[in-house]
Amino acid sequence: MSVTAARGFTASGVSAGIKDSGAPDLALVVNRGPSYAAAAVFTSNRVQAAPVRWSRRVIGDGALAAVVLNSGGANACTGPAGEDDARAMAERTARALRVEAEQVAVCSTGLIGVPLPMGRVTAGIDAAAAELSEDGGEAAAIAIKTTDSVHKTAVASGSGPDSGPRSGSGPGWTVGGMAKGAGMLAPGLATMLVVLTTDADVSAPTLDSALRQAVRTTFDRVDSDGCMSTNDTVLLLASGASGVRPDPAEFAEAVHGVCLDLALRLVADAEGASKEIEVRVVGAASEQDAVTVGRSIARNNLLKCALHGEDPNWGRVLSAIGTTSAVFDPDRLDVSINGVRVCRDGAAGEPRDKVDLSGRAVTVTVDLRSGDASATIWTNDLTAAYVHENSAYSS
């Protein structure tokens, strides 16, 4: 049920005509309370879309009543008119829901530099408001897709401050979420729109802490193609409808679990990809070193091409490591690909032909042998299909 798995939320997704295809392209997620606490993380790109600027402002007081989202147009680099359009989306949503515009976040995704067809957008908002329901989470998740081949949802639950995880319905609290993203996936968040909801009774500062912790080791470690978007937004809204105030650590773990689930779904759906690559860096002198090395490997196009061709070319891994400032001894590096240690002490290890790359999952493990820190980065291979899709994206 996605974002409506948590009590106190309704959602909807409709076809507003923003996309020429007629596919669903506008969604609402509404918090019915009694609490309206919220937190958010946005792109770190200095070029930011009008909806990001609007949502940054309204989240300042740590409260939201609703989110309006559209696909089919990013409303980015659209000048003062784009700022007016983002505000108009919030105001139209607020009018339909009888809330204040400053309680409405706005998210948009699609082609940069093209104005939204606001007549269709505002009519779509009214239609979406009329279709809100507790079963509308799936429709909302479908409506925010762009090049996504599938919609992406996840759910986690807990029982209370002194209880372990639960499953099914009944007393307790839930975290639900939906995400879109298939291209421009890189830190600073990936080209993603993510809405998370919970019926736990959680304050805005606790939401903010849990969300930032989760994003740091999930969405911020997805690095599909090294390209950072202008529209990335991750929102977490709490209705408090369960009446349960969970242990902060348990709640943070649930938020992390939902974020990780959604982040891996983004990688699995990356445009044109045929391999899902997990880069594990261990034995680092610091977590930052591990992340830096992992990113360098994940962004190495020669390695991504090799893995697409099912060639376990570990030399390209070492080459990527060598471009970083991380602490390591080149003569003590170990590299394993799908469990086979193909590089030992910076030189050839087991024969490459032992590595099975016939499946979709690939794990590259690097041991820097310089400390106890570690990190994981998720990426994918570089394919002709990826090049084709992105060469024709705006046509």
Place of tokens 């976040």: 105
CA-nearest of 186, 190, 189 to 226 is: 186
> Is residue 191 annotated as a catalytic residue, yes or no?
yes
The two three-digit tokens of residue 372, written as one number:
């106890």
What's the N-to-C CA distance of the chain in angstroms?
34
What radius of gyration, in Å, describes the C-alpha atoms of the chain?
A: 22
DSSP state of 334: E
Active-site hit among 4, 191, 206, 365? 191
Contact 122, 86 (CB under 8 A): no
For residue 316, the Cα-to-chain-centroid distance in whole angstroms is 28
Count of H helices and E strands in the chain? 10, 15
Interatomic CA distance for residues 38 and 206, integer angstroms: 9
CB neighbours (10 Å) of residue 274? 16
Angle, helix 314-321 to helix 287-298, in steps of 10 degrees? 130
Residues 6+ apart with CB under 8 A from 222: 185, 186, 187, 190, 263, 266, 267, 377, 378, 379
Contact 132, 32 (CB under 8 A): no
Amino acid present at 90: A
**Maximum distance among all Cα pairs of the chain, rounded to whole angstroms:** 67
CA-nearest of 2, 4, 274, 299 to 151 is: 2
| β-pairing verdict for 66-71 and 104-109 | parallel
Three-state secondary structure string covering 157-225 = EECCCCCCCCCCCCCCEEEEEEEECCCCCCCCCCCCEEEEEECCCCCHHHHHHHHHHHHHCCHHHECCC
Distances (CA, A) of 15 to 20, 105, 143, 394: 10, 20, 8, 21
User: Which residues are marked as active site?
Assistant: 191
